[in-house]
């Protein structure tokens, strides 16, 4: 693995908020390996949903049309998926539909990202856009957290550029050598965001993590 501030900060936010979700949890767009964030929800009944059958999810289906009855789950999570959907508003409405009243959900979206998963890469989201989408689906926002600021964004963009330019996932020896530099620069950037409380810094972020509730 090559250190990237975006992934590091995302995991820290999931760890911070995961205790709100209890019971039967649906991971929407879970990806391979049984859901990469499953360990943060240990002790719960964790159900995976993905449109790709090669990932062997518990449920094969689209986030925009979840094959499950109304009020089926105590919690829902959806991490870094909405940007790859043609109709993200429909996916959020589906989250609301399958979530039980009083249940919590977690959602992360990018605000700044390189092109990825092309051609299925459609959207980037501001804080205000996320608020509109969730509110229109009848969901109450409990917390909305930025994922880093200007400094983490610059470190992430640089790391991602070099990963793609040099093919570091394939050139594993070079990737391991450069990873130490990425780690030092990445952790430093995260620290700089902590101490930089300026309004200028708050205008920039990698993305948003939202904790929401169905009233």
- Give pLDDT tens digits for 31-64: 998 889 999 999 999 999 999 999 999 999 999 9
Task: Give the phi and the psi of residue 196 in degrees, each rounded to 5.
Answer: -90, 100
* Residue-level pLDDT at 34: 84
45 C-beta neighbours (distance < 10 Å), count: 13
Contact (CB, 8 A) for 21 and 206: no
Give the Å distances, CA to CA, from 132 to 51, 135, 139, 160.
Answer: 26, 5, 10, 30
Query: What is this structure's pTM?
Result: 0.95
Mean pLDDT of 95-118: 97
Cα separation, 54 vs 119, whole angstroms: 19
User: What average pLDDT does the structure give for the chain?
Assistant: 97
* Residue-level pLDDT at 50: 97
**C-alpha torsion angle, residues 75, 85, 38, 58 (rounded to 10):** 80
Question: Residues of CATH 3.40.50.150 domain(s) within the chain?
Answer: 5-149+205-214
Contact (CB, 8 A) for 76 and 102: no
User: What is the enclosing helix (H) or strand (E) of 24?
Assistant: strand 24-28
Contact (CB, 8 A) for 2 and 169: yes
Mean pLDDT of 76-104: 98
Cα separation, 154 vs 206, whole angstroms: 9
> In which band, very low, low, confident or very high, does the pLDDT at 137 lie, cut at 50, 70 and 90?
very high
Mean pLDDT of 141-161: 98
Domain 5-149+205-214 has CATH 3.40.50.970: no
Q: Which of 35-39, 65-69, 134-138, 140-144 has the lowest mean pLDDT?
A: 35-39
* Residue-level pLDDT at 33: 84
User: What is the enclosing helix (H) or strand (E) of 104?
Assistant: strand 99-110
Max CA distance (Å), the chain: 51
Listing DSSP states for 129-179 in one string gives HHHHHHHHTTEEEEEEEE---HHHHHHHHHHHHHHHHHTTTTSHHHHHHHH
pLDDT at residue 180 greater than cutoff 90: yes
């Amino acid at each position: 693995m090559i250190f990237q501030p975006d992934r590091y900060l995302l995991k820290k936010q999931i760890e911070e908020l995961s205790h709100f979700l209890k019971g039967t949890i649906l991971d929407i767009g879970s990806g391979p390996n049984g859901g990469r964030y499953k360990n943060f929800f240990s002790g719960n009944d964790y159900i995976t949903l993905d449109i790709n059958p090669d990932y062997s999810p518990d449920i094969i289906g689209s986030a925009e049309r979840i094959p499950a009855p109304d009020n089926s789950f105590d919690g829902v999570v959806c991490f870094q998926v909405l940007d790859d959907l043609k109709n993200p508003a429909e996916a959020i409405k589906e989250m609301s539909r399958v979530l039980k009243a009083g249940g919590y959900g977690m959602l992360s979206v990018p605000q700044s990202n390189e092109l990825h998963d092309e051609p299925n890469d459609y959207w980037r989201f501001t804080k205000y856009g996320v608020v509109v989408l969730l509110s229109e689906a009848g969901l109450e926002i409990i917390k909305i957290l930025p994922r880093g600021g200007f400094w983490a964004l610059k470190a992430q963009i640089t790391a991602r550029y070099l990963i793609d330019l040099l093919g570091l996932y394939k050139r594993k020896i070079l990737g391991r050598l450069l990873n130490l530099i990425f780690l030092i620069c990445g952790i430093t950037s995260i620290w700089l965001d902590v101490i930089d409380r300026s309004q200028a810094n708050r205008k920039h972020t990698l993305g948003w993590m939202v904790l929401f509730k169905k009233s």
